[in-house]
Amino acid sequence: MPAAKKTAATKPADRAEIEAPEEPTAEAGESLTAVAHEATDIYTWVEHNGKKYSIPAAMEFPLEVILAENEIEALAIILGEEQWETYRKTRPTIRDFQEFSEKVNRASGN
């Protein structure tokens, strides 16, 4: 069995410094699945209540996500300050938060 190809680790940028990437596109008949998203270490988009949110692949989440004490804190870290504030301004309900959190988890490959 051939040895696994090693890749150089990259230092993650500060979420505040990352500009939202262009929305991923797919060829006709193709879709960007969570598995493909995870394998390519790119951002994907989640649409919720008429707003689009840029979501990184799970392995690109900030380390602080592991230390989050609850799901709300974890999602705030994943989204980053600007997107979290955008979401909060929608005045979400608990049900809405659960739906949004599920979308983010599916999109990130979790």
Domain locations along the chain: 56-110
**Whether this model's pTM surpasses 0.85:** no
DSSP 8-state symbol, 89: T
Give the helix, strand, coil percentages of the chain, each rounded to 5.
Answer: 45, 10, 45
The enclosing H or E element of 85 equals helix 71-88
pLDDT tens, N- to C-terminus, the chain (110 residues): 555 444 444 444 445 444 455 554 444 444 455 555 545 557 899 999 999 999 999 889 999 999 999 999 999 999 999 999 999 999 999 999 999 999 999 998 87
Q: In this structure, what token pair is assigned to residue 105? A: 């988890």
